[in-house]
């Protein structure tokens, strides 16, 4: 029997595993880098061991340190989570050699499947040879052999860029997974990403737990996932299940794993890879089948046998990944303090979830299950997160804040529940993709189950346009601020007061009868307090909750949506002047390299990559804003920089801020 589990991971997945361990009566041990010293997963564990340093290569990728931590803390088992060392056979062997239980598949299965190149060969395919590809093979996809999550992945549409994309993909893969091997495969336009969850024991039983569609992706990293994958013919589902079970049996698999496929527009299934670990999107399968996959992992690791067949699936579940990023600016990651994280209709994420089973009951049943408790009259909404209010989102790791999951008897109901929960959520702090998620869930292509991996490439511009609600939110913010500073009204006519938030200027007067808006005749002010404003908009009264946290933003929440509006100061603060052509760091991060042959006095051209920054496990290229001479180069590999740090100066350049091209962009 397992009595104490060390989770060789961090953040959301560590907290997720801890929840199940607590329900099963198993003690927990966390490991943490210096950057994670006060992280939620450290606070929630029964014991924690420091891994000195901040970079993954020095901490969460150091298997020797993690094994020592498990032994020192008295753990008798190790759960790898996902990412980092979760698909590293050497680490699995080291855990077992130390006398600890490995909560995962045998190292031989990891070796067979964790390398995407070996997995393709095992399943009857082979990667393309870079030296033999031609224009006829385009487009191509460069992929990391040892990992996933979109890191180390690039789309190549021109042969001239192949060598550079192989190099950058390998660099990113080495940083994220400790292995820089990459390979090539054909890139299928408008394909669907569909996967099968498998669960296997040591006695030959293998379950195929339905399908998941994970087609909505940005930079080849999943954003919205659902189960079951909608609209697939029964024959294709049967083929996917059979292929997944065959793959698991072929390598003597044990525990939870996922077999991934790309479905072409013609309906043909192409094997992509097998992830020999738990997937980020596993909660949608748990919701549909009413089981706790982490609990099943522990039971299989303890030697228990699975029943002959899986439980029946019920209903539909959809998951959205909430990221600290700005989709309107190339998905640029964001950092800062998370002041609030509250999701409507959801029990707190730290409460345990059911480890045994029982599908969530339909609305006409006795109860809906969420967080491990029976709750009447609430939608089934779940949040998995590694953050709590007051925590800081830093630069060292993935920018995912939380996963929000909704279950319902039908797909339409589940999608509607999730969109409603996200729209009404209070998420205060760095800019997030929350608005994009809501609009994605409500987009006709998604609601109509017309899914493929090009969704954001086609629709991103429309999905990130500011709506009318932002104007009303700015009005509410201005009036709430005025109420907090309210003085006597003036009997004599005077110039209106002006407050600015982002692109919006709000002009108003305080009269005997209250606030009067100058530029918004269709809006009437009904009621104003420092934290709540009610506006009548075209005859309909709508409430707005206004909150400030002193971080340069005002947060406005309403039933129609939520907004984080930057506060424009009344008077411009003096700033240090920068020379024309200065390239300033657009985000905090680490300089990983500079362009080959760059030095002061070298001639550069507009759009030429000069500096590579790594932030939140992604690489970003800083491009020359114009053609000219490089008169200063302050970027040094390994240097940590903050937003606004001067990286380089290009003489005669007219643009003052660095242009950023996301390395994952197709």
pLDDT tens for residues 335-354? 999 999 999 766 544 333 33
pLDDT (0 to 100) of residue 617: 64
What residues contact 488, with CB distance under 8 A and at least 6 apart? none
CA dist 521 and 216 (Å) reads 40
CA dist 268 and 306 (Å) reads 32
pLDDT (0 to 100) of residue 366: 28
Listed ranges 114-123, 181-190, 223-232; the one with the highest mean pLDDT: 223-232
Helix (H), strand (E), coil (C) string for 547-615: EECCCCEEEEEECCEEEEEEEECCCCCCCCCCCCCEEECCCCEEEEEECCCCCCCCEECCCCEEEEEEE
Helix (H), strand (E), coil (C) string for 270-298: EEEEEECCCCCCHHHHHHHHCCCHHHHHH
**How many CA atoms does the CB half-sphere of 14 hold within 13 Å?**
26
Tokens of residue 484, six digits: 């907090």
Helices assigned H by DSSP within 399-486: 411-423, 434-442, 444-447, 455-463, 468-484
- Which CA distances in Å does 38 have to 48, 272, 393, 428, 563? 11, 38, 11, 20, 28
pLDDT (0 to 100) of residue 376: 32
CA dist 281 and 290 (Å) reads 15
Q: What is the pLDDT of residues 227-243, one digit of tens each?
A: 999 999 999 999 999 99
CA dist 358 and 369 (Å) reads 9
**How many CA atoms does the CB half-sphere of 467 hold within 13 Å?**
13
Q: Which residue has the tokens 């998951």?
A: 319
579: number of Cβ within 10 Å: 13
Which of residues 68 and 597 earns the better pLDDT score? 68
Average pLDDT over residues 110-124: 77
For 225, the 3-state DSSP assignment is strand
pLDDT (0 to 100) of residue 288: 96
pLDDT at position 640 over 90: no
pLDDT at position 623 over 60: yes
Alpha carbon dihedral 473, 475, 480, 485, in 10-degree steps, equals 150
Average pLDDT over residues 383-387: 96
CA dist 468 and 436 (Å) reads 15
Which of residues 523 and 117 earns the better pLDDT score? 523
- In order of their start, the domains of the chain are 4-103 (3.40.50.20), 114-186 (3.30.1490.20), 192-463 (3.30.470.20), 470-568 (no CATH), 582-662 (2.40.50.100)
pLDDT > 90: what percent of the chain? 62
pLDDT (0 to 100) of residue 666: 30
pLDDT (0 to 100) of residue 380: 85
Task: Please give the positions annotated as active site.
Answer: 277
Which of residues 376 and 125 earns the better pLDDT score? 125
Looking at every residue in the chain, the average pLDDT score rounds to 87
CA dist 323 and 346 (Å) reads 19
Q: At what angle do helices 11-24 and 293-301 cross, to 10 degrees?
A: 70
Tokens of residue 26, six digits: 């198993």
Which of residues 614 and 250 earns the better pLDDT score? 250
513: number of Cβ within 10 Å: 8
Q: Which residue has the tokens 């589990």?
A: 5
pLDDT at position 75 over 60: yes
For 373, the 3-state DSSP assignment is strand
pLDDT (0 to 100) of residue 165: 85
With vertex at residue 585, the alpha carbon angle to CA 581 and CA 589, rounded to the nearest 5 degrees, is 160
Q: What is the pLDDT of residues 31-63, one digit of tens each?
A: 999 999 999 999 999 999 999 999 999 999 999
Q: At what angle do helices 89-97 and 63-73 cross, to 10 degrees?
A: 30
pLDDT at position 665 over 80: no
Exposed / middle / buried, residue 28 (Cβ in 10 Å: 0-12, 13-18, 19+): buried
Q: Please tell me the pTM assigned to this model.
A: 0.83
Binning pLDDT at 50, 70 and 90, where does residue 613 land? confident
In 291-438, DSSP assigns E strands to 316-323, 325-326, 332-333, 336-337, 340-342, 368-370, 373-375, 380-385, 392-393, 400-408, 426-428
Average pLDDT over residues 537-562: 94
61: number of Cβ within 10 Å: 22
pLDDT (0 to 100) of residue 489: 54
Q: What is the pLDDT of residues 654-663, one digit of tens each?
A: 444 444 444 4
Binning pLDDT at 50, 70 and 90, where does residue 183 land? confident
* Least confident span in 247-256, 281-290, 371-380, 383-392: 371-380
Residue pair 407/317 in contact (Cβ under 8 Å)? The answer is: yes
| 237 alpha-carbon distance from chain centroid | 27
Binning pLDDT at 50, 70 and 90, where does residue 84 land? very high
Average pLDDT over residues 644-660: 67
Nearest to 656 by CA among 622, 625, 635, 631: 625
Residue pair 303/202 in contact (Cβ under 8 Å)? The answer is: yes
pLDDT at position 259 over 60: yes
Residue pair 280/403 in contact (Cβ under 8 Å)? The answer is: yes
pLDDT at position 492 over 90: no
With vertex at residue 443, the alpha carbon angle to CA 440 and CA 449, rounded to the nearest 5 degrees, is 95
pLDDT at position 374 over 90: no
With vertex at residue 34, the alpha carbon angle to CA 29 and CA 37, rounded to the nearest 5 degrees, is 55
Q: What is the pLDDT of residues 262-307, one digit of tens each?
A: 999 999 898 988 999 999 999 999 999 999 999 999 999 999 999 9
Binning pLDDT at 50, 70 and 90, where does residue 572 land? very low
pLDDT at position 129 over 80: no
Q: Which residue has the tokens 């709508």?
A: 542
Average pLDDT over residues 113-139: 75
Which of residues 370 and 7 earns the better pLDDT score? 7
CA dist 282 and 273 (Å) reads 16
Which of residues 245 and 165 earns the better pLDDT score? 245
Q: What is the pLDDT of residues 130-174, one digit of tens each?
A: 877 888 778 888 888 766 666 777 888 888 888 888 888 888 778
Tokens of residue 102, six digits: 């490995």
Strand partners, 622: 611, 660
pLDDT > 70: what percent of the chain? 88
pLDDT at position 391 over 60: yes
* Least confident span in 263-272, 294-303, 425-434, 641-650: 641-650
pLDDT at position 319 over 70: yes
Q: What is the pLDDT of residues 469-479, one digit of tens each?
A: 999 999 999 99
Alpha carbon dihedral 182, 183, 184, 187, in 10-degree steps, equals -60
DSSP tag of 219: T
Which of residues 643 and 370 earns the better pLDDT score? 643
């Amino acid at each position: 029997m397992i009595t104490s589990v060390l989770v060789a991971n961090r953040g959301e997945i560590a907290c997720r595993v801890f929840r199940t361990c607590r329900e099963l009566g198993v003690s927990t041990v966390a490991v943490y880098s210096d950057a994670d010293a006060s992280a939620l997963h450290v606070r929630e564990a029964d014991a924690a061991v420091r891994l000195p340093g901040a970079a993954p290569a020095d901490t969460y990728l150091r298997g020797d340190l993690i094994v020592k931590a498990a032994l020192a803390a008295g753990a008798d088992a190790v759960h790898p989570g996902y990412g980092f060392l979760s698909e590293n056979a050497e680490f699995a062997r080291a855990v077992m050699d130390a006398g600890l239980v490995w909560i995962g598949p045998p190292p031989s299965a990891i070796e067979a499947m964790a390398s995407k190149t070996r997995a393709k060969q095992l399943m009857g395919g082979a990667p393309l040879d870079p030296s033999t590809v031609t224009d006829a093979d385009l487009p191509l996809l460069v992929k990391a052999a040892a990992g996933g999550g979109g890191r180390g992945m690039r789309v190549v549409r021109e042969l001239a860029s192949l060598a550079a994309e192989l190099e950058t993909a390998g660099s990113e893969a080495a940083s994220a997974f400790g292995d820089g091997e990459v390979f090539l495969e054909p890139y299928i336009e408008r394909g669907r990403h569909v996967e099968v969850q498998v669960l296997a024991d040591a006695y030959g039983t293998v379950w195929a737990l339905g399908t998941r569609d994970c087609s909505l992706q940005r930079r080849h990293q999943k954003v919205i996932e659902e189960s079951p994958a909608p609209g697939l013919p029964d024959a294709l589902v049967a083929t996917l299940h059979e292929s997944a079970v065959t793959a698991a049996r072929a390598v003597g698999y044990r525990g939870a794993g996922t077999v991934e496929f790309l479905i072409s527009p013609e309906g043909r299934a192409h094997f992509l890879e097998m992830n020999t670990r738990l997937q980020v999107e596993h909660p949608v399968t748990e919701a549909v089948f009413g089981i706790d996959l982490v609990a099943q992992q522990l039971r299989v690791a303890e030697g228990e046998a699975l029943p002959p067949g899986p439980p029946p699936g019920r209903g539909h579940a959809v998951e959205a990944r909430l990221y600290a990023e700005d989709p309107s600016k190339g998905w640029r990651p964001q950092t800062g303090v998370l002041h609030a994280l509250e999701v409507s209709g959801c029990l707190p994420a730290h409460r345990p979830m059911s480890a045994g089973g029982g599908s969530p009951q339909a609305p006409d049943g006795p109860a809906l299950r969420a967080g491990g408790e029976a709750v009447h009259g609430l939608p089934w909404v779940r949040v998995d997160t590694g953050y709590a209010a007051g925590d800081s989102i830093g630069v060292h790791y993935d920018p995912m804040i939380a996963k929000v999951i909704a279950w319902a008897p039908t797909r339409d109901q589940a999608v509607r529940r999730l969109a409603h929960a996200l729209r009404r959520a209070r998420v205060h702090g760095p800019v997030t993709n929350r608005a994009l998620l809501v609009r994605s869930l409500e987009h006709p292509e998604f609601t109509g189950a017309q899914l493929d991996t090009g969704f954001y490439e086609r629709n991103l511009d429309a999905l990130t346009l500011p709506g009318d609600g932002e104007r009303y939110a700015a009005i509410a913010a201005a009036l709430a601020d005025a109420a907090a500073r309210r003085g006597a009204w003036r009997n004599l006519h005077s110039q209106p007061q002006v407050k600015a938030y982002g692109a919006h200027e709000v002009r108003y007067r305080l009269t005997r009868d209250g606030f009067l808006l100058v530029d918004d005749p269709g809006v009437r002010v009904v009621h104003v307090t420092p934290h709540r404003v009610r506006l009548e908009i075209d005859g309909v009264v709508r409430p707005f909750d206004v909150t400030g946290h002193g971080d340069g933003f005002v947060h406005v929440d309403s039933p129609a949506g939520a907004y984080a509006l930057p506060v424009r100061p009344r008077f411009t603060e003096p700033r240090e002047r920068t020379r024309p052509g200065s390239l300033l760091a657009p985000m905090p991060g680490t300089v990983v390299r500079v362009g080959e042959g760059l030095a002061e006095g070298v001639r550069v051209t507009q759009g030429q990559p000069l500096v590579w920054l790594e932030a939140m496990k992604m690489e970003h290229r800083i491009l020359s804003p114009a053609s000219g001479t490089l008169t200063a180069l302050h970027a040094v590999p390994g240097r940590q920089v903050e937003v606004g740090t001067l990286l380089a100066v290009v003489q005669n350049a007219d643009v003052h801020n660095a242009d950023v091209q996301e390395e994952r962009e197709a």
